[in-house]
Amino acid sequence: MKKAIPAYLDSVSNAAITCRGKQLASLLSLSDAHVNTLLEHNAQSANLVETARTKLNYPWDDILLLHVEIVRAQHQGDLQQAYEDQKELVQSFQRAINSYDKWCLPFLYAINKDLRDLAVEADVQQANDKKENKNLEEAANVMSKSFTSCITDRSLDRAKSRKWGTYHISNLLFKTYFKIKSQNLCRNVLKAIRVNDLPPLESYPKADRVTFRYYLGRLYFLEEQYIKAEQELSLAFLECSTRSSRNKQLILHYLLPVRIYLGKLPTRKLLNRYPSISALYSPLVSAIREGNVRAFDVAMESGYAHLIDRGTFLTIEKARSMVIRTLCRRVYSIMNTTRISMETFKQALEFAGLEVDMEEVECMLAVLIFKGYIKGYLSHEKQFVVLSAKDPFPIPSSVVVT
Amino acid sequence: MRRREARLQRFKNTNNVKRSPAPSPATPATPNPDVMDWDEYTIVGTSSQLEKQYLRLTSAPDPASVRPLPVLRKTLELIKQKWEKEHNYTYMCDQFKSMRQDLTVQRIQNDFTVHVYETHARIALEMGDLGEYNQCQTQLKDLYSKGIAGETMEFLAYRILYMLHTQNRSALNAIMAEIKGTHANDKAVQHALQVRSSLATSNYHRFFLLYKETPNMGNYLIHQFIERERIYALRTMCKAYRPSIDIEFIRKELAFETTQDLHKFLEKLKISGTLDDQNLDARNALPGLNDLAKQFAKVDINRSATV
């Protein structure tokens, strides 16, 4: 029984000496099976310290001792303490990191991830105790130093540089900044990436690439740079493995609103592949396709909470013009003439379930012309719409959105 | 283990509470329900002078210069009357700030405090002082969140309208997440939400109709961006209507009280194209309107997350 702990210390020492990053990461992460072994054996403090200092070199002795404390604290529910110790662990490693190259990255990822997770848990506990909960903010600061230690690695051997950890840590940071609602801090990360000489994104692991593009897409989305957002989110979606259904859906929750805004509707096939996506977006997409304004409004109301939570409601709302455009196009194909009275459009809108007075109808038509969805002009005195003979209703996706 | 010990230590020495030194308190022994976080160092003022100039505090105030709650109530009545009669904004702002200061140093946070901030906010709105309005709105948000009664709906509606002025999309989304059905029934909030949705869908017709029936002081906020919306609306109309648009129709759509007001607007913005008094030449007016609209395009590099 007593042999388990020394054996564990030996494997840590081994992994460090032979530069096996993944091995080291498991041995010192909080989600590995060895955690149970540590708890079972309840190593006596004094003994453990002595043994650790004998078997392990700097910084692994400190790191290991902290790790054991953290495991214990977490198990006992003292999350604030666990978090503080994990913070010290990360900082200890950061002080020594210049001696380690690419091999240490899996370990760096693991300790930062644990730091973040503990910060979140500690914050929840603090909030329940009605105390201040700024752990995640602080953790972000610490993680940011890990980012710096990756991106500023000036070692000449590119293949072994810590630069290969840049995007992975960036993604951890983005996830954190989004959670603490400080998305503007992502800017510093992006700036650093642009300024420093890194290998191209395409040569990084696919997982890093997909996640990075996802967050970049979301940032462009927040700034209403929809064309750029679509580019990044599409690439992320394409590359994202079909086995990661959850990730695919996460991307879709932003990709679909962007595409809808740009006039590109998803196929029924795509929607049907993901039931939760379909539940939320199918009614909207159908309404837009048919030009059914009432159905669109109903769908927006029922999806309100979900869409507001993701911050996509305001974007999809803009697609209402497109719905009215399609309704008008249907009127045109029924009337089959380029001169149509405004009264006709009013009737169509009322038939579709809207209550509108004539001035509002004129306003809607004027807006469609202004946005480029209808080519033609209005005559207020004659109360007529005069449509262009050629292509009076251009395809929405070809219309440049203002 | 170490933190539990630290906690026990604290309870041994209650005299070691860290506070900045205050003058020896001449306070009653019973806690005051109007004061949150009451302790024996809370100041209770003794001044009975109704009016007081605002002076920035650099150290703990002398209770003799601070007005207690009953006096402040009388002060507010006096200020309100003076405002009605004299309309002296500088004086009034000064008095309000000193009232707010007295409330703060005495840590009084109750419905009277709310009333003071609400009154000040309304007057600031009337005078177009958005800076002062914002300060009050921030304080009110905090006070309401502590459960203190006030005109929460009225001021929620103002918050929404303010977002429409700044076009701060993420803040707007945040407010809408806050509301999500709970305050949907209030008239003022309903109105503000309808204004929001009409702007979002470029429905200028509905927007100007709603403008004419804004509850409370909301119009002072809408005034901050009404010119922008009139430019946008007129630009749309000039793009869509040919060859010209009836002036009276424009006047009604853009909610101008009189035709002169509309003409003044067109002149001020140097929009050419009035053929005669009855019609606006749409094609002529359009380039000018396009240029005017450009100034409202949002470019905020500092708020941008991407580079």
ipTM: 0.84
Q: How wide is the angle at C-alpha A96 spanned by C-alphas A90 and A102, nearest 5°?
A: 85
The answer to the question of residue B59 being in a domain is yes
Q: B297 CB contacts (<8 Å, ≥6 apart)? A: none
Chain B CB contacts of A359 below 8 Å: 205, 252-253
Return the domain boundaries, chain A.
4-201, 205-318, 337-398
- B306 with A370: Cβ contact below 8 A: no
Chain A CB contacts of B206 below 8 Å: 360, 363
Determine the distance in angstroms separating the CA of A85 from the nearest CA of chain B, rounded to an integer: 13
Q: What are A235-258's pLDDT values in tens digits?
A: 999 999 999 999 999 999 999 999
Task: For residue A159, count CB atoms less than 10 angstroms from its CB and return exposed for 0-12, middle for 13-18, buried for 19 or more.
Answer: exposed
Determine the distance in angstroms separating the CA of B56 from the nearest CA of chain A, rounded to an integer: 30
- Choice between A211 and A56, residue whose per-residue pLDDT is larger: A211
In B23-62, the residues whose Cβ lies within 8 Å of chain A are none
Question: Same CATH topology for A205-318 and A337-398?
Answer: no
Residues B147 and B228 in one domain: no
Task: For residue B7, count CB atoms less than 10 angstroms from its CB and return exposed for 0-12, middle for 13-18, buried for 19 or more.
Answer: exposed
pLDDT at B1: 42
Give the three-class secondary structure for B51: coil
Determine the distance in angstroms separating the CA of A380 from the nearest CA of chain B, rounded to an integer: 7
Local structure of residue A392 (DSSP, 8 states): S
Chain B CB contacts of A186 below 8 Å: 305-306
- The DSSP line for B165-184 is HHT-HHHHHHHHHHHTTTST
Q: Which of A190, A365, A366 sits opposite B306 (nearest CB)?
A: A190
Chain A CB contacts of B170 below 8 Å: 222, 311
- List the single residue in A with minimal CA-CA distance to B306: A187
**Chain B contact for A305 (CB, 8 A cutoff):** yes
Give the three-class secondary structure for B242: coil
**Chain B contact for A222 (CB, 8 A cutoff):** yes
- B173 with A190: Cβ contact below 8 A: no
Instruction: Give the span between the Cα atoms of B61 and B46, in whole angstroms.
Output: 12
pLDDT at B300: 52
Q: Evaluate if residue B302 carries a pLDDT over 70.
A: no
The answer to the question of residue B31 being in a domain is no
Percent of chain B with pLDDT over 90: 58
Q: Evaluate if residue B29 carries a pLDDT over 60.
A: no
Instruction: Give the span between the Cα atoms of B157 and B56, in whole angstroms.
Output: 32
Residues B49 and B167 in one domain: yes
Question: In which element (H, E) is residue B279 found?
Answer: strand B279-281
pLDDT at B22: 43
CA A125 to chain centre: 25
Q: Evaluate if residue A98 carries a pLDDT over 80.
A: yes
Determine the distance in angstroms separating the CA of A316 from the nearest CA of chain B, rounded to an integer: 10
- The pTM assigned to this predicted structure is 0.85
pLDDT at B44: 86
Q: How wide is the angle at C-alpha A194 spanned by C-alphas A191 and A200, nearest 5°?
A: 145
- Answer for the pair A151, A204: CB distance below 8 angstroms, yes or no: no
Question: In which element (H, E) is residue A227 found?
Answer: helix A226-239
Q: What are A128-182's pLDDT values in tens digits?
A: 887 778 899 999 999 999 999 999 998 888 899 999 999 999 999 999 999 998 9
Q: B174 CB contacts (<8 Å, ≥6 apart)? A: none
Residues B62 and B148 in one domain: yes
Q: Which of A80, A187, A379 sits opposite B304 (nearest CB)?
A: A187
Residues B174 and B254 in one domain: no
The answer to the question of residue B37 being in a domain is no
Residues B49 and B175 in one domain: yes
Q: What are A324-337's pLDDT values in tens digits?
A: 999 999 999 999 99
In A189-218, the residues whose Cβ lies within 8 Å of chain B are 190-191, 194, 216
pLDDT at B32: 63
Q: Over the range A333-356, which residues count as b (16 or more CB within 10 Å of their CB) and which as e? A: eeeeeeebebebbbebbeebebeb
pLDDT at A231: 97
- Answer for the pair A316, A260: CB distance below 8 angstroms, yes or no: yes
Which residue in this structure is represented by tokens 């946070």?
A: B109
Please state, rounded to an integer, the average pLDDT across all residues of chain A.
92
Tokens of A371: 């946005």
From A268-277, B73-82, B145-154, B295-304, the region with the lowest mean pLDDT: B295-304
Phi, psi (5° rounding) for residue A103?
-65, -25
**Chain B contact for A307 (CB, 8 A cutoff):** no
Confidence category of residue A3, pLDDT binned at 50, 70, 90: confident
How many Cβ atoms sit within 10 Å of the Cβ of residue A126? Answer: 17
Instruction: Give the span between the Cα atoms of A331 and A348, in whole angstroms.
Output: 7
- B305 with A305: Cβ contact below 8 A: no
Q: A79 CB contacts (<8 Å, ≥6 apart)? A: A73, A118, A121, A122, A125
In A264-303, the residues whose Cβ lies within 8 Å of chain B are none
- CATH of region A205-318: 1.25.40
Q: Evaluate if residue B2 carries a pLDDT over 80.
A: no
Residues B90 and B189 in one domain: yes
Strands A376-379 and A384-387: antiparallel
Instruction: Give the span between the Cα atoms of B87 and B75, in whole angstroms.
Output: 16
- List the single residue in A with minimal CA-CA distance to B297: A402
Residues B133 and B224 in one domain: no
**Chain A contact for B304 (CB, 8 A cutoff):** yes
Task: For residue B95, count CB atoms less than 10 angstroms from its CB and return exposed for 0-12, middle for 13-18, buried for 19 or more.
Answer: buried
- Answer for the pair B226, B256: CB distance below 8 angstroms, yes or no: no
Strands B279-281 and B244-246: antiparallel
Instruction: Give the span between the Cα atoms of B221 and B165, in whole angstroms.
Output: 8
Give the three-class secondary structure for A378: strand
Confidence category of residue B299, pLDDT binned at 50, 70, 90: low
CATH number, domain A337-398, options 3.40.50.300, 1.10.10.10, 3.40.50.2300, 3.40.50.970? 1.10.10.10
Q: What are A283-318's pLDDT values in tens digits?
A: 999 999 999 999 999 999 999 999 999 999 999 999
- Choice between B292 and B28, residue whose per-residue pLDDT is larger: B292
- Answer for the pair A162, A105: CB distance below 8 angstroms, yes or no: yes
In angstroms, the first-to-last Cα distance of chain A is 71
Percent of chain A with pLDDT over 90: 80
- Answer for the pair B279, B244: CB distance below 8 angstroms, yes or no: yes
Q: Which of B202, B246, B306 sits opposite A219 (nearest CB)?
A: B306
- Answer for the pair B60, B101: CB distance below 8 angstroms, yes or no: no
**Chain B contact for A186 (CB, 8 A cutoff):** yes
Q: Which of B236, B304, B305 sits opposite A367 (nearest CB)?
A: B236
pLDDT at B36: 59
Question: In which element (H, E) is residue A376 found?
Answer: strand A376-379
**Chain B contact for A380 (CB, 8 A cutoff):** yes
Confidence category of residue B21, pLDDT binned at 50, 70, 90: very low
Residues B185 and B229 in one domain: no
Residues B139 and B216 in one domain: no
In A324-343, the residues whose Cβ lies within 8 Å of chain B are none
Q: A313 CB contacts (<8 Å, ≥6 apart)? A: A300, A303, A304, A307, B173, B176
**Chain B contact for A184 (CB, 8 A cutoff):** yes
Please state, rounded to an integer, the average pLDDT across all residues of chain B.
84
Chain A CB contacts of B252 below 8 Å: 359
Q: Evaluate if residue B25 carries a pLDDT over 80.
A: no
Residues B213 and B144 in one domain: no
Q: Evaluate if residue B59 carries a pLDDT over 70.
A: yes
Q: How far is CA B192 from CA A250, B42, B181, B204, in A?
A: 32, 40, 14, 15
How many Cβ atoms sit within 10 Å of the Cβ of residue B6? Answer: 9
Residues B80 and B193 in one domain: yes
pLDDT (mean) for B255-284: 87
pLDDT at B55: 85
Tokens of A66: 């902290």
Instruction: Give the span between the Cα atoms of A326 and A324, in whole angstroms.
Output: 5
Q: Evaluate if residue B20 carries a pLDDT over 60.
A: no
Boundary-marking domain end, from B155, B172, B197: B197
Q: Evaluate if residue A45 carries a pLDDT over 70.
A: no
Q: What are A268-288's pLDDT values in tens digits?
A: 999 999 999 999 999 999 999
Chain B CB contacts of A219 below 8 Å: 305-306
How many Cβ atoms sit within 10 Å of the Cβ of residue B194? Answer: 15
The answer to the question of residue B204 being in a domain is no
Q: What is the total residue count of chain A?
A: 402
Number of domains in chain B: 2
From A306-310, A390-394, B5-9, B174-178, the region with the lowest mean pLDDT: B5-9
Q: Evaluate if residue A14 carries a pLDDT over 60.
A: yes
- List the single residue in A with minimal CA-CA distance to B180: A305
Instruction: Give the span between the Cα atoms of B282 and B190, in whole angstroms.
Output: 35
- Answer for the pair A323, A354: CB distance below 8 angstroms, yes or no: no
- Answer for the pair B93, B135: CB distance below 8 angstroms, yes or no: no
pLDDT (mean) for A196-221: 95
**Chain B contact for A130 (CB, 8 A cutoff):** no
Residues B16 and B150 in one domain: yes
- List the single residue in B with minimal CA-CA distance to A223: B304
The answer to the question of residue B11 being in a domain is yes
Domain that holds residue B227: 209-294
- Counting Cα atoms < 13 Å in the Cβ hemisphere of B167 gives 14
Q: Evaluate if residue B19 carries a pLDDT over 90.
A: no
Q: The CATH number of the domain where B146 resides is what?
A: 1.25.40.990
Farthest-apart Cα atoms in chain B, separation: 88
Chain A CB contacts of B176 below 8 Å: 308, 313
Which residue in this structure is represented by tokens 């650099």?
A: B58
Q: Evaluate if residue A53 carries a pLDDT over 50.
A: yes
